[in-house]
Amino acid sequence: MKTGEETYLDLGCCFGQDIRRMVYDGVSSENCYGSDLRLDFMELGYKLFLDKDSLRSQFIAGDVFDQEADIKELDGKVDILHAASFFHLFDLERQKQVARRVVKLLKPKKNALLLGRHVGDVKGGVKTHPLDPSRTNYRHDPDTWKKLWEDIGEETGTKWEVEVEMQDLVSREWQQDGARRMAYSVRRIV
């Protein structure tokens, strides 16, 4: 956040720990927003970090799939959107819905940025959840993640530069079947 005026949104922020780290590192809390499904998570964050009176970030509860949720107030206003441990929760079609929502939230300008990480795989596709065999999700490899953003770009009239780094996972349960941590950045170039 080079100029100190960029707007940052942590999508799926849970307790808001990433926002708090940025504020600790010197980012203005007024420019940071967090969103998660339930306000309970964010309230627990205040209790955990004891900063309800000092943190000026705004937390917004709502379902990212609900186009009328309060997060819509940030449409077109976000410079940097962070989504960690988020995309891999969904099947491919729902991930595309999230990606479309991300495009809507980001400022419609060059260098608007999505960054984060999620569970990826050495071979992208539908995978069974390692701890709950009744659930599946879609895990990307670098090529399928780039293809997702090509498709979203075609749908939305935008173009994205995608960078991906695959890393080993710490948890042995998640490492089965080729799972890896996928760190990524998706930067708008048109």
User: How large is the greatest C-alpha to C-alpha distance in the chain, in angstroms?
Assistant: 47
Q: What is the pLDDT of residue 170?
A: 72
Using the predicted structure, report yes or no on whether residue 175 has a pLDDT greater than 80: no
Architecture of domain 1-74: 3-Layer(aba) Sandwich (3.40)
Residues 6+ apart with CB under 8 A from 186: 113, 114, 115, 149, 160, 161, 162
Prediction pTM value: 0.93
Domain spans, the chain: 1-74, 84-190
User: What's the DSSP call for residue 148?
Assistant: H
Predicted confidence (pLDDT) per residue in 7-56, tens digit: 999 999 999 999 999 999 999 999 999 999 999 999 999 999 999 999 99
State percent of the chain over pLDDT 90.
Answer: 87
